[in-house]
């Protein structure tokens, strides 16, 4: 039987998908145990016991300086920045994307501007943001917004512009104005795509968040990782990275499920 | 009786390509005009002109004696071969769309009593096209024939002066197509419609139409085929039974209101 025809069932899929992850874990444990056998004080590949000890301090013991539980304070600060940034970018994408997609004169005027902004590497703008907005929360959120919004705007605008011409004509023969076409025809059909765009933007959003936190911050997941790097604290870095991965997976899944629930009509069709 | 729609000496040119030349047609209210012709002859261009999607390079189009603006409006309804229903709305909401746009310019949504009235009107129209049991389905859950029925209901709710059909049954199975022919024939009689239909299918054109227009090039220049446009080479009036004089109870457009302008 050809490999292209080998279908994998649900249970088989779970099993196959888990195998490489488990193998990788096993490999790590073997290597770590090996290193610890040679040097019980090894810091580079900590054993799970070591990670649990280091993390329990961050999880349950209040910090001497601030009195916060650091792990939770970091998580809260990062998620707050991320969600504000994503929120602003999403709103901008919907608003600007819709107008660009539906109204040809607006597209002709602002399309090139959006394209130009989208090609600038956002990290290159970080110094400008820090100079203009200071080192506080605003600059970090602004980096996330500038990093992901242009791509989302272009995606939504392209999707809206690709709504079949027949639908727009039909709406006009039913008496719809530009405004009515925008809110009743284009907006609802842009929504599933917006959810999709947010899911795709989650990855870059995390990148910009960690970057901003690494450079100037006093709390946050990215800040903590870069702080403890000075002490080679792999026993903190690795659990933090796993935690970030889990948060990202949970957010992605939440958007996927929500999108399916809210837009049952959009399943299986691009338009 | 002056014609409902009148095209006078219409030319359509794209750059140096001439699509339609010297086309003059008068269409009476209550007629069912089939437009046939080879692919690329300009059938769809003609339909786009009447729809208002395009303006002619030369000539005028008069609807009820007044020149058409080159923009689509609710006086001309349309059903395309595909994509003429809104995928994000249920059949009922699709049909209500025209009413909602007219009555609520800002929100394009109706509430309370007005909404129920619109729902009743839309439901009645869906019943008339045979979709009374599928009001809450989304277009993606419907067959091609059902989608076209919905597109017709959606257009008829606005009581258009002219209904334009652009190869409406071209993508359907032969059996379904026969059902649709019966449906459109019934609606044409019941609602005293004026229909212009572009089709590839000559049999369909003759079976449904009261008049068949064949659009083709009169002259051909083998060295520059694009320099001659198409025009109506045959204009056949078919003898048919008069449209049923008994009006439908479901509030049709009566012939009196059609000719009173």
Residue B90 CA to residue B150 CA, distance in Å, equals 10
**In the predicted model, is pLDDT for residue A270 greater than 60?**
no
**Count of structural domains within chain B:** 1
* pTM for this model (two decimals): 0.83
- ipTM metric: 0.83
* pLDDT value of residue B235: 82
Question: Is B199 domain-assigned?
Answer: yes
Tell me the residues of A at the B interface, defined by beta carbons under 8 Å apart. 164, 166-167, 169-177, 179-180, 183-185, 188-189, 263-269, 271
Question: Is B10 domain-assigned?
Answer: yes
Residue A182 CA to residue A177 CA, distance in Å, equals 8
Question: Is B94 domain-assigned?
Answer: no
Question: Is B95 domain-assigned?
Answer: no
Q: How far is CA B257 from CA A232, B91, B126, in A?
A: 87, 29, 24
What is the spatial order of strands in the sheet that B211-217 belongs to?
A: B66-67, B58-63, B5-14, B17-27, B230-237, B211-217, B32-36, B195-198, B162-166, B76-79
Residue A204 CA to residue A148 CA, distance in Å, equals 7
- Residue B35's domain comprises 5-75+160-206+213-259
Residue B209 CA to residue B224 CA, distance in Å, equals 34
Residue B86 CA to residue B91 CA, distance in Å, equals 9
Please answer yes or no on whether B101 and A172 come within 8 Å at the CB atom: no
Residue A243: Cβ within 10 Å count: 16
Over range A131-156, report the average pLDDT: 92
| Residue B35 belongs to domain with CATH number | 3.40.50.300
* Residue with token string 């048919």: B240
Question: Is B137 domain-assigned?
Answer: no
Over range B157-162, report the average pLDDT: 90
- CB-nearest to A166 from B82, B98, B108 is B82
A-contacting residues in B 58-97 (Cβ below 8 Å): 71-74, 76-78, 80, 82-89, 97
Residues of B in contact with A171 (CB under 8 A): 86, 97, 101
Predicted confidence band of residue A27 (pLDDT cuts 50, 70, 90): very high
Predicted confidence band of residue B1 (pLDDT cuts 50, 70, 90): low
Question: Is B225 domain-assigned?
Answer: yes
Phi/psi of residue A261, nearest 5 degrees: -65, -45
pLDDT tens digits for A50-108? 999 999 988 888 888 888 889 999 999 999 999 999 999 999 999 999 999 999 999 99
Residues of A in contact with B83 (CB under 8 A): 164, 166-167, 271
Over range A214-235, report the average pLDDT: 92
Find, among B101, B100, B127, B98, the residue nearest to B111 by Cα.
B100
Question: Is B247 domain-assigned?
Answer: yes
Residue A41 CA to residue A35 CA, distance in Å, equals 9
Question: Is B198 domain-assigned?
Answer: yes
pLDDT tens digits for A191-221? 999 999 999 999 999 999 999 999 888 999 9
Residue B90 CA to residue B100 CA, distance in Å, equals 14
* pLDDT value of residue B241: 54
């Amino acid at each position: 039987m050809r490999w292209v025809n080998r279908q994998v069932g649900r249970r088989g899929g779970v099993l196959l998908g888990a195998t490489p992850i488990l193998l990788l874990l096993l490999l790590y444990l073997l290597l770590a145990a090996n290193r610890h056998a040679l040097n019980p004080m090894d810091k580079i590949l900590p054993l799970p016991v070591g990670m649990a000890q280091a993390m329990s301090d961050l999880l349950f013991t209040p910090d001497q300086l601030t009195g916060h539980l650091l792990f939770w304070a970091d998580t809260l600060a990062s998620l707050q920045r991320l969600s504000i940034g994503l929120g602003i970018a999403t709103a901008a994408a919907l608003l600007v994307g819709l107008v660009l997609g539906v109204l040809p004169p607006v597209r002709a005027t602002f399309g090139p501007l959006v394209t130009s902004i989208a090609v600038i590497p956002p990290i290159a703008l970080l110094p400008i943001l820090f100079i203009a907005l200071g080192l506080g929360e605003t600059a970090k959120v602004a980096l996330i917004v500038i990093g992901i919004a242009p791509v989302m705007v272009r995606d939504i605008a392209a999707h809206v512009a690709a709504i079949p011409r027949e639908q727009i004509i039909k709406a006009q023969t039913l008496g719809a104005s530009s405004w009515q076409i925008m809110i009743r025809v284009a907006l609802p059909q842009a929504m599933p795509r917006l959810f999709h765009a947010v899911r795709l933007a989650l990855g870059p959003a995390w990148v910009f968040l960690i970057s901003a936190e690494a450079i100037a911050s006093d709390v946050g997941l990215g800040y903590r990782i870069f702080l403890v790097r000075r002490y080679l604290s792999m026993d903190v870095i690795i659990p933090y990275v796993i935690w970030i991965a889990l948060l990202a997976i949970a957010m992605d899944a939440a958007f996927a499920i929500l999108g399916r629930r809210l837009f049952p009509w959009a399943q299986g069709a691009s338009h | 009786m002056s014609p409902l729609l009148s095209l006078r000496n219409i030319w359509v040119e794209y750059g140096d390509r001439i699509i339609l030349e010297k086309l003059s047609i008068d269409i009476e209210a209550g007629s069912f005009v089939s437009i046939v012709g080879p692919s690329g002859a300009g059938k769809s261009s003609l339909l786009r002109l009447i729809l208002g999607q395009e303006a002619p390079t030369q000539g005028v189009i008069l609807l009820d004696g007044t020149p058409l603006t080159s923009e689509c409006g609710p006086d001309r309804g349309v059903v395309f071969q595909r994509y003429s229903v809104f995928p994000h709305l249920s059949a009922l909401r699709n049909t209500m769309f025209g009413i909602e746009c007219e009555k609520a310019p800002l929100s394009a949504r109706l509430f309370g009593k007005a909404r129920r009235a619109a729902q009743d009107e839309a439901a009645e129209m869906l019943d008339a096209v045979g979709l009374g049991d599928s009001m809450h389905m989304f277009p993606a859950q419907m067959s091609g024939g059902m989608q076209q029925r919905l597109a017709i209901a959606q257009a008829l709710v606005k009581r258009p002066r002219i209904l334009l059909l652009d190869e409406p049954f071209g993508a359907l199975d032969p059996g379904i197509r026969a059902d649709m022919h019966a449906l459109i024939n019934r609606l044409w009689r019941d609602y005293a419609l004026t229909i212009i239909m572009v089709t590839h299918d000559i049999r369909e054109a003759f079976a449904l139409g009261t008049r068949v227009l064949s659009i083709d090039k009169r002259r051909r220049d083998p060295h520059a085929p694009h320099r001659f446009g198409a025009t109506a080479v045959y204009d056949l009036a078919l003898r048919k039974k008069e449209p049923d004089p008994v009006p439908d109870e479901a509030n049709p457009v009566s012939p009196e209101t059609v000719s009173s302008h």
